[in-house]
Structure 1
């Protein structure tokens, strides 16, 4: 248990959600059932969490349903989460302890990806219990950032799939004040945490309720736009392509809101107005076209709005 689980090194928006789930075998079922039994034994729980997380990495199709339906498993995972709270302030969480809680969070992420269990964990309000991990401010401690990233992975899984439940999920996330926590992760998180947080914000802004949340009140709009702009400025060279794409997508969706578009005509980042910077930063043609479109939306409104 010296190393953090490999799941934490996987981009949850470009890899794990795109992997086709695999059908489970009888051996898979037996291993999952055995580990579920071990979860109920405190002395073996850490080992069981690690093994289940390895099974989760293989994307076994019905594993989330087995976990959700198993007696007391959700409660046990919640216990693991709650036990880490006391280690957050003051920040005394060790690498080993972070690994254990991240293994528990990864199993909740598995349930967040599955269509049969996604809304069940929302109705049980399980995501709220990960919010304290997203609110941490330790920016130079790797295992705290892995904790943030794994927590963001749960939210990313909830917003990734667009189905009939999506508006209800977005409403839940906004109602429980998830949005400021994503901004916090963009401010203090590592590159991958920033990317996943920006992805989540861009998905929330797809929906009218998300646009209203960010575009109706000036303080919310400026909080979002300032964090997005500051994130771009944090990279003296080229920002990561995926991160830049999600930031531009956020700006694009803000231009759909008249008051936000009006404000962006005055406060859109200078770097993203500079053709030389755009040429330098946007190696991917799709990202370049997105940058050009956002700038067009902003400048056309400034000139003719």
Structure 2
């Protein structure tokens, strides 16, 4: 009896390990189809499969990106307004890793949509608040989030309907222009700031001026937070 119970426990453990493996494989396009097939066979026999999927890292976002980018499911995905369920994550301002990961994966779903260059995608996004959300993330998000947000905005601007929408009112145009100018200005300052302000040239002069020394140190730190990139992840230059 004890041996039988131990064997059953071991079998369950092996089965759960396989389930964890299939869940991890959902994140890879090469293994996703088979993983979905195997997990679907287990949905009745594993009562906590749904929580396991929900709490696994990036699984739901990966599946949403798959649905969003496929031509057969994209229209239904938009018609159901599923992207709107991701917007609360884009509204978050916390810079902690869990919130940043939520923002990045949510942006990835929107990025998968605009990557298709379909007119219905742009038309849908223009009815939402994606533009101000992307602008805010471009201004204050992590480098990866900034890159994806910039890519989304770039795709909207490259579309005639999207460009016309942004240029329709002064408020929309000025908001986009000011954020873009701010990003370019930061990169220009990074490239043009004299080396003497970044090394110890003025250390002796500023040793008794704690306020100026602190401001200069903060400026140099802000400019060292990584290059500003375009939607393809290529560093911007001012030349």
Which of residues 27, 30, 46 in structure 1 aligns to 2:51? Answer: 46
- The aligned length equals 181
Deviations 1:28-50 (A, max 9, x none): 45424236x26994x33232x2x
> Would you say the 8 A contact 1:135–1:185 is kept in 2?
no
Whether 1:115 and 2:115 are equivalent positions in the alignment is no
2:134 is aligned to: 182
Distance in 2, Cα, partners of 1:24 & 1:150? 17
Distance in 2, Cα, partners of 1:202 & 1:6? 31
1:228 is aligned to: 180
1:103 is aligned to: 59
Shift of 1:106: 2.4
Shift of 1:23: 8.4
Deviations 1:13-71 (A, max 9, x none): xxx9xxxx64877x545424236x26994x33232x2xxxxxxxxxxxxxxxxxxxxxx
Whether 1:34 and 2:41 are equivalent positions in the alignment is yes
2:91 is aligned to: 135
Q: Which has the higher Rg, Structure 1 or Structure 2?
A: 2
Shift of 1:245: 6.8
Whether 1:161 and 2:116 are equivalent positions in the alignment is yes
Which of residues 120, 137, 143 in structure 2 aligns to 1:191? Answer: 143
Q: Name the Cα RMSD after superposition.
A: 3.4
Distance in 1, Cα, partners of 2:126 & 2:235? 19
2:155 is aligned to: 203
Gaps of 5+ in 1: 9-15, 50-79, 81-96, 249-271, 279-305
Shift of 1:223: 0.9
SS of 1:129 mapped into structure 2: helix
Distance in 2, Cα, partners of 1:223 & 1:113? 29
Gaps of 5+ in 2: 1-19, 192-225
Which of residues 207, 221, 227 in structure 2 aligns to 1:239? Answer: 227
SS of 2:59 mapped into structure 1: helix
Shift of 1:131: 0.6
Moved over 4 A (4+): 5-8, 21-25, 240-248
Distance in 2, Cα, partners of 1:40 & 1:183? 43
